[in-house]
Amino acid sequence: MGFRAGPLCDDEIVRLVSANFVPVAVDLYKIRNDRGPGGDLFRSVQRQMDTYQGWWIVSPEGKALKLEPQARPGFVMKEHVENNLKAINEALQEWGPLKPRQVKPTDPLPCRGRGVQPDGKVTLALYGRLLHQGQPDGPMVLDSVTFGASEWAQFAPPKKAGASGWTLPDTLARALARGLLSPGCSASVFRLEDFSQAELQAKVASVEGGRARILLSGKWKAAGFWAGEKSKPQGASATAEGVAVYDVEKKTMRSLFIVLDGKVWGESEKTARGTGAVVEWTLETAAAEKRRP
């Protein structure tokens, strides 16, 4: 399967895929150059049913059975979902009876957006999407960024922070925003060296009950190339405001929440589209939430 977040998130499609198929996601930019069995299978399927990206239904023997129905210009998501459902059901009818797979819900990313890992790493949950006149325009992009223990410690108030606060290393600011400045697809992620501005500042607003309330603000600007192709320049900028809570006595972060407001463009900033994003993390783990009465 390729990248088509919207239709593949439909409940009925998820049910059918979970019960009847073994879903496999591949990165086009890596798999097409892979010289192992995985790359051979991908190229074979692509020769049978050619498409740039999307999904195929493939038999265990490697025969391509169905190709994602391409959306017509000006399509609406409901129509695209219906076309995908039709293709999946047709493939099931052509193949014949299948014993439904017994699938139980699992959390493949238990540390995403919550908890501290045994080695001190923390993974922040990222959510981004394109906007049109302030309204959602297309599916949401889900991502994450992991900071090591020493990097995560930079978010905590230093001993001599002062009233003006402190500035986090620009390497952290770049890592935090590289996938959020242009939340269209994996090809639009900026490289760390694409940033001309990456600022993330913090200051303690108040301390009550042993908890410090930290205000965060950021500014970013970057310019690069979509999928690395020099014929497809892209630029983006964003500002951000957020809040974090720090346990002064235990010397540990409790939560973090940041909202980004930005824009992304191709050859000219005059054609910019709005973007919005959220970064979140909490110390509470999934296990702790289940123990709640």
**Per-position DSSP letters for 220-255, written without gaps between them:** EEEEEEGGG-TTSEEEEEEEEEEEEEEETTTTEEEE
pLDDT > 50? residue 291: no
pLDDT at position 105:
78
pLDDT at position 162:
78
Give the CA distances from residue 242 to residues 116, 209, 232, 265, in Å, rounded to whole numbers and listed in that order: 20, 21, 32, 25
230-241 residue pLDDT tens: 999 999 999 999
Please count the residues of the chain.
293
Side chain identity at residue 128, one-letter code: G
d(CA 162, CA 194): 32
191-239 residue pLDDT tens: 999 999 999 999 999 999 999 999 999 999 999 999 889 999 999 999 9
Q: Is 230 helix (H, G, I), strand (E, B) or coil?
A: coil
Domain regions of the chain by residue span? 5-95, 122-291
Q: Are strands 135-136 and 233-247 parallel, antiparallel or unpaired?
A: unpaired
- What is the pTM (predicted TM-score) of this model? 0.75
Half-sphere exposure (Cβ direction) of 128: Cα atoms closer than 13 Å: 26
Cross-strand partners of 66: 57
| Cβ-contact 261, 276 below 8 angstroms | yes
| Cβ-contact 241, 216 below 8 angstroms | yes
Q: Show the tokens assigned to 84.
A: 């995908």
The beta strands (E) that lie in 148-232 are given as 166-167, 195-208, 211-225
Band the pLDDT of 25: cuts 50, 70, 90: confident
**C-alpha angle with apex 27: 22 to 33, nearest 5 degrees?**
115
pLDDT at position 71:
64
